[in-house]
Chains A and B, each alone.
Chain A
Amino acid sequence: MMLDMQHVAFGANGRFLLDDVSLSVARGEVVVIIGPNGAGKSTLLRLAAGLVAPVSGRVLLGGHDLATLSDARKAGLRAMLAQNSPAHARFTVRELAAMGGLHAGRACSASALAAHVHAALELVGLLPMAERDITSLSGGERQRAHYARVLVQLRAAAGNGLLLLDEPVSAQDLARQGLVLNVARAHARQGGACLMVLHDLNWATCVADRIVVLRNGRIEADGRPEQIVSATLLRDVFGLETEHVPVHARTGRPFVVPHDIVGHDFSEQYGE
């Protein structure tokens, strides 16, 4: 098992953000976390990355307890794309991507690192912008530049680590959403694994081997997309009426259309 979270709880300021969460990701697998805002999705990723330590329970990465690993060691085993990364300095896209190689030090030669950077920039479609200043990029371009950095980080080590993505398509246009998710899937298929947070249910059902539904800091459901995505669950978790196609003719996956988007009174649902 690549990632194994056992009965993990986490809280801040006297409030539980996650409670008794057990979740595992196998090698080769893409697992998508869905859930309403504030359900604890990002917190779950941060725990999986070892950015924060659980209050109780354990997080194992490749069989090692995360709490016992050094920062550099962790960096070779997992990489994470955060929701938004600020641009404090005028690095170029290429320089930013190369920062992924920091943890490898001399273990990854300058020429090998340059090759990894080139490959990653090509994957995310930023090779033509490699010499651009990251502060001059659009939000979507910058998100993909950081994505390239994250890919370089894993490739500078064994290349088969765990990819953690927090809303990786939030700033992307429709075509680039597919691009970003395909890269993640390819990474998993080539011996890595991926755990990501997505909001778009239809992307989730397309890309996921398993979907984990998180609500109020607890896992509500965990299983294959066709087992998970049902009108009842979506009503329970998101409070949303949906039209639901169990097997879409083209993708073979469930397809969801929210009811009454136009003219629907959302304030009723959220009690505002």
Chain B
Amino acid sequence: MKVIRPASGLVLGGLSALLLVALLCALMIGATGFGPGALWTNPHSEAARANWLVISQIRAPRAVLALLTGAALAASGAVMQGMFRNPLADPGLTGVSSGAALGAALVIVLGNAGTGAGLVAHWAVPAGGIAGALASTVVLYLFASRGRASSPTLIILAGVALSAFSGALTGILVFRANDTALRDLTFWTMGSLSGAAWPQIAVLLPVLLPAALIMARIAGGLNVLLLGDEDAALTGCPVERTRRLAMFCVALACGPIVSFVGVIGFVGVVVPHFVRLVSGPDHRVLLPASALLGAALLLVADTLARIIAIPSDVPVGVVTAAIGAPVFVWLLARSQQTDRLS
């Protein structure tokens, strides 16, 4: 059938506008709600100062963290689906998230860094996350490349085993943890943005930026990887290097995110799928569009999470699972029929 695709500029522009609206909503909606005018009508009043404090210290860092988390998870999911030629692949499936979780948990329990303060404490847990994510991908890669070249199926099977293993080690850590660390761990396995603060953003930006640059660089290579390893190599794509770079940027994007917000599922599977329906499988559009839609989606999900049980704060992982799990099952049923990235 004939395919009609909107221009990539239109897709990216539309998603940017959507993201902007989602961002404004996230800033304005909450336990104390106010319109955009509230800050300007009487800027020196007591109420305006209070509102400004709520926005700048509580909602803004949380919104930015939600935005970065959604963007990183969705783009990582798209990268993995491309490199594994599997519409269901995401950082969770390949053991990257659970590796990051283990690395971060190790730091929390052994170093008890969650209770510390200052720059070192802010960097220690995410560094553990990056190290864990990288370690998983390296183990995965070594395992998969023992043969002549790493096959997609092998990598995913190895990822399942790796995931279970990291999960087991994290489970042991939970029982070794003291009370403070245990509270950090439980809070964090739920997948929540409620701990958001500006220093986390300062840690994330310099890590996510290179990840985004690598993704931009390998986007064309990911396209031809969808033709199969041989056709990709024939087209001039350095297959193994592209796959290694893909693993590296996914680890870089997911490691620190998982260490700050815990495991948030389904964003990486669901978002790229919907983007493909509109703009097609070209990664040069798919990756930025997934990042934008993922950011908008997580902003909306977190805004919902903050208001559905006021004054309590529902973990955003619960909301994304509630939305994502049914979509995932639907995708699963579909992929058995087609086995294609649609």
Interface residues of A (CB under 8 A from B): 49, 51, 70-76, 79-80, 82, 85-92, 95, 99-100, 102-103, 131-133, 135-136, 146, 149, 153
Q: List 28 A-B contacts (CB under 8 A).
A: A51-B230, A51-B233, A71-B239, A88-B227, A88-B340, A89-B281, A89-B340, A90-B276, A90-B340, A90-B341, A91-B223, A91-B226, A91-B282, A92-B3, A92-B5, A92-B280, A99-B224, A99-B227, A100-B235, A102-B220, A102-B224, A102-B235, A131-B4, A132-B1, A133-B1, A133-B2, A135-B340, A146-B231
A234 to B280, CA, bound (A): 49
| CB pair B237 A71 closer than 8 Å | yes
> Within 8 Å of chain A (Cβ to Cβ): is B236?
yes
Contact assessment for A85 and B227 in the assembled complex, using a CB-CB cutoff below 8 Å: yes
Smallest Cβ-Cβ distance to A96: which chain B residue: B227
The one of B5, B230, B281 that contacts A82, using a Cβ cutoff of 8 Å: B230
Contacts A88-B85, A90-B340 given; indicate if A82 touches B236 (C-beta within 8 A): no
Contacts A89-B340, A131-B2 given: A99-B234 contact, CB under 8 Å?
Answer: no
CB nearest neighbor in B for A105 = B220
State in angstroms the CA–CA spacing of A133 and B281 once bound together.
11
Residues from chain B with a CB closer than 8 A to the CB of A100 are 235
Contact of A49 among B221, B224, B234, B338 (CB under 8 A): B234
CA distance A146 to B227 in the complex (A): 10
Residues of chain A within 8 A of B238, CB atoms compared: 70-72
Does B36 sit at the interface, judged by CB under 8 A? no
Q: Which of B1-58 contact A (CB under 8 A)?
A: 1-5
Residue in A74, A80, A99 with the greatest tally of chain B CB atoms within 10 Å? A99
* A91 to B220 Cα, complex, angstroms: 13
User: Does B189 sit within 8 A of A, measured CB to CB?
Assistant: no
The 3 A-B pairs at the shortest CB distance, nearest first, are namely A75-B236, A103-B236, A89-B281
Contact A88 B236 (CB under 8 A): no
Given contacts A72-B236, A132-B1, whether A102 and B223 have CB atoms under 8 Å apart is yes
> Is the pair A89, B226 in contact by a Cβ cutoff of 8 Å?
yes
Determine the residue in chain B with the shortest Cβ distance to A132.
B2
B226 proximity list for chain A (CB < 8 A): 88-89, 91
State whether the Cβ of B111 lies closer than 8 Å to any Cβ in chain A. Answer: no
- Find residues 309-342 in chain B having any chain A CB closer than 8 Å to their own CB: 338, 340-342
Out of A82, A91, A102, which one reaches B221, CB within 8 Å? A102
The residue on A at minimum CB distance from B235 is A102
Tell whether, in the assembled complex, residue A88 and residue B234 are in contact, meaning their CB atoms are under 8 Å apart. Answer: no
Q: In whole angstroms, how far apart are the Cα atoms of A95 and B227 in the complex?
A: 12
**Residues of the B chain whose Cβ atoms lie less than 8 Å from the Cβ of A51:** 230, 233-234
Are A90 and B280 in contact, with the CB atoms below 8 A? yes
User: Known: A82-B231, A85-B231. Is A76-B1 also a contact (CB below 8 A)?
Assistant: no
CB-based contact B236/A74 at 8 Å? yes
Complex Cα distance A75/B1, Å? Answer: 31
Smallest CB separation, B192 vs chain A (Å): 35
Collect the chain B residues with CB atoms within 8 Å of residue A74's CB: 236
Note all chain A residues with C-beta closer than 8 A to B231: 82, 85, 146
Given A92-B5, A132-B1, 7 further pairs, Cβ under 8 A: A76-B236, A85-B227, A88-B340, A90-B341, A91-B282, A102-B235, A135-B338
A102 and B236 form a contact (CB under 8 A): yes
A87-B2 Cα distance, complex, nearest whole Å: 16
What is the minimal beta-carbon distance from B198 to any residue of chain A, in angstroms?
A: 39
Closest A residue by C-beta to B227: A85
Given A90-B341, A153-B236, verify A99-B223 contact (CB < 8 Å). Answer: yes
| Bound-state Cα–Cα, A102 to B217, Å | 12
B199-248 residues with Cβ-Cβ distance < 8 A to A are 220-221, 223-224, 226-228, 230-231, 233-239
B1 (CB) vs chain A CBs: closest residue = A136
Task: Collect the chain A residues with CB atoms within 8 Å of residue B221's CB.
Answer: 102
Cα A51 to Cα B148 in complex, Å, equals 12
CB distance from B81 to the nearest CB of A (A): 10
Counting chain B CB atoms within 10 Å of each CB, the highest count among A51, A72, A89, A133 belongs to A89
